[in-house]
Amino acid sequence: MNGMGDKPNPMHHASEITISTQGQGLYEFTAQVEHFVRAANVQTGLVTVFCRHTSASLTIQENADPDVRADFNEFFRRLVPENMGWLRHTIEGPDDMPAHIKAALTDVSLSIPVMNGRMVLGTWQGIYLFEHRSHPHERKVALHLCGE
C-alpha cells in the first residue's frame, strides 16, 4: 500500500544488457531476463524488453529445436533478400536496408507478464534477439519491470 489506503505502490526496475552477435541469426537471452526479474523480487507485474537498434529485433520463439531458428532465419533471408537493386539506402552495405525492413516486420519491444516472481513463458518459449546484419555487433537491450 502507498499509505493512502487504497492503491498498491508499484515498483519499477530498469537495466540494460548487451548481446554480442556473430552475424545474422537468433540469439537467445531468456536467462538474462529471468535473472533480472528474479533480482527485482517482483511477484506480479510486467517486464518490457526493448531493442535499441533499427537493424535488429526481438521475438519469442521455440527454444527446444535449433531447426526452428534455422528455418526462421532462412525464411526472412528469402522474404527480404540483399540483392534488391532498387534500394536507395546502401551506404552501410548490402545487408543494411534489408536489415531495417526485417526489423520493421518483426518486433523491437516485447511485454511479458510476471506471476509468482517468474515470467509467464510457455514450456518451449525463449526470448531472442534477431540479428539482421551479416557482421558481428554489440546490441543493447533495455529491460523495464513494473509490479509489486
Checking 100-103 for CB contacts under 8 A at 24+ apart, the result is: 100/54, 100/55, 100/132, 102/55, 102/57, 102/76, 102/130, 102/132, 103/51, 103/53, 103/54, 103/55, 103/56, 103/57, 103/130, 103/132
Cα dihedral 64, 59, 35, 11 sign: negative
pTM of the prediction? 0.91
Residue range 13-147 forms a domain whose CATH class is mainly beta
Cα separation, 30 vs 84, whole angstroms: 34
pLDDT score recorded for residue 5: 58
Q: Extract the C-alpha cell encoding 27.
A: 540469439
Looking at residue 9, what is its pLDDT?
Answer: 72
| pLDDT tens, residue order, the chain (148 aa) | 445 556 667 899 999 999 999 999 999 999 999 999 999 999 999 999 999 999 999 999 999 999 999 999 999 999 999 989 999 998 999 999 999 999 999 999 999 999 999 999 999 999 999 999 999 999 999 999 999 9
- For position 7, what pLDDT does the model report? 67
pLDDT score for 83: 87
